[in-house]
């Protein structure tokens, strides 16, 4: 069996196909999925998925790319984290990618609001004891530094969590592991140009590995460019199995176990 540790089933292109997607998941042996929240406005839809289906869970958080929508406070995040079936805080983190274009020519110094928002998530996670779901893009130094400043060092009492949809270097993977975090790989791992990333996937200890789709984005080869769904997560597992000389079922089992260790209450 397989777990999709990060998907966006509340997005309209997936939500509208839910019965079909659930059938495909069952056929593919994908027995659980974590539905990820990216805005406070979206939370109720994400949460409704978790409440509507035994094998779905939800997170609470605001993506670093979300702008001009409600800003999360620690108190608000804690309130949402206390709702049933909310098992993680995020996705949160930092995204400095394409400051010239996407960020309207702002500088890293102008992104203090992202760093403040990230700190609010870390503080909430540490208070409620639920793990962080981290998105980091072109911002790994600050992501690691802020986690450390907020006390995340892998010690008992730390929130911990996962660096999701990992696309960073070996050095960043080491830093994340040193802080006690898990590392999650998406369909990007199957892309032709991802040779360096495949080295990282070979290196991450077996007890810290997770798999995900980040659907509807990033469909794995041979579906690249199509709408992704949790039913395709075994293709990520297959790539890892190939890299590590394991059977695909073994990767499904070990990543399912890791999912249960990291997120409490997600036992099938
Ligand atoms: Ni995501």
Q: With DSSP H G I counted as helix, E B as strand and the rest as coil, what are the percentages for the chain, rounded to 5?
A: 45, 15, 40
pLDDT in tens, 220-258: 999 999 999 999 999 999 999 999 999 999 999 999 999
How far apart, in whole angstroms, are the C-alpha atoms of residue 211 and residue 164?
9
Of all residues in the chain, what percent carry a pLDDT higher than 90? 96
Ligand 1: centre distance to CA 212 (Å): 9
- Beta-bridge partners for 135: 93
pLDDT in tens, 102-150: 989 999 999 999 999 999 999 999 999 999 999 999 999 999 999 999 9
Determine if the pTM surpasses 0.95. Answer: yes
Ligand 1: centre distance to CA 8 (Å): 7
pLDDT bracket for residue 267 (50, 70, 90): confident
Ligand 1: centre distance to CA 6 (Å): 6
CA distances from 15 to 24, 37, 220 (A): 14, 14, 20
pLDDT in tens, 150-199: 999 999 889 999 999 999 999 999 999 999 999 999 999 999 999 999 99
Helix (H) or strand (E) holding 154: none
Residue (of 117, 126, 244, 145) closest to 185 by Cα position:
244
Ligand 1: centre distance to CA 185 (Å): 12
> Are residues 214 and 165 in contact, defined by beta-carbon separation less than 8 angstroms?
yes
Ligand 1: centre distance to CA 214 (Å): 5
Q: How many CB atoms lie within 10 A of CB 41?
A: 12
Ligand 1: centre distance to CA 5 (Å): 10
Ligand 1: centre distance to CA 138 (Å): 16
Ligand 1: centre distance to CA 186 (Å): 10
Ligand 1: centre distance to CA 94 (Å): 13
Domains and CATH numbers, the chain: 2-262 (3.20.20.140)
Ligand 1: centre distance to CA 229 (Å): 12
Ligand 1: centre distance to CA 92 (Å): 9
> Are residues 36 and 65 in contact, defined by beta-carbon separation less than 8 angstroms?
no
The confidence score (pLDDT) of residue 268 equals 73
Residue 215 φ/ψ region, left for φ over 0, alpha for ψ in the -120 to 50 degree band, beta for the rest? beta
The confidence score (pLDDT) of residue 51 equals 98
Ligand 1: centre distance to CA 153 (Å): 24
How far apart, in whole angstroms, are the C-alpha atoms of residue 193 and residue 213?
18
Ligand 1: centre distance to CA 127 (Å): 23
Ligand 1: centre distance to CA 178 (Å): 23
Ligand 1: centre distance to CA 75 (Å): 23
């Amino acid at each position: 069996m397989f777990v999709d540790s990060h998907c966006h089933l509340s997005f309209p292109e997936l939500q509208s196909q839910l019965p079909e997607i659930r059938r495909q998941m069952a056929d593919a042996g994908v027995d659980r999925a974590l539905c990820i929240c990216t805005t406070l406005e979206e939370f109720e839809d994400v949460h409704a998925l978790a409440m509507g289906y035994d094998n779905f869970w939800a997170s609470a958080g605001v993506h670093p790319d979300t702008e001009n929508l409600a800003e999360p406070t620690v108190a608000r995040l804690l309130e949402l984290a206390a709702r049933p079936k909310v098992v993680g805080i995020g996705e949160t983190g930092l995204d400095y990618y394409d400051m010239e274009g996407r960020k309207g020519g702002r500088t890293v110094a102008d992104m203090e609001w992202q760093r403040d928002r990230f700190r609010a998530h870390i503080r909430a996670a540490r208070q409620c004891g639920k793990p962080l779901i981290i998105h980091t893009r072109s911002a790994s130094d600050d992501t690691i530094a802020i986690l450390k400043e907020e006390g995340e060092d892998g010690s008992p009492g730390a929130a911990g969590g996962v660096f999701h949809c990992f696309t960073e270097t070996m050095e960043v993977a080491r830093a994340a592991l040193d802080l006690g975090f898990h590392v999650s790989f998406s369909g990007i791992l199957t892309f032709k140009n991802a040779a360096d990333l495949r080295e990282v996937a070979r290196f991450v200890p077996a007890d810290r590995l997770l798999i995900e789709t980040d659907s509807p984005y990033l469909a794995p080869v041979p579906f690249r460019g199509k709408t992704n769904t949790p039913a395709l997560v075994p293709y990520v597992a297959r790539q890892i199995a190939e890299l590590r000389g394991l059977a695909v079922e073994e990767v499904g089992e070990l990543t399912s176990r890791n999912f249960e260790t990291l997120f409490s209450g997600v036992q099938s």
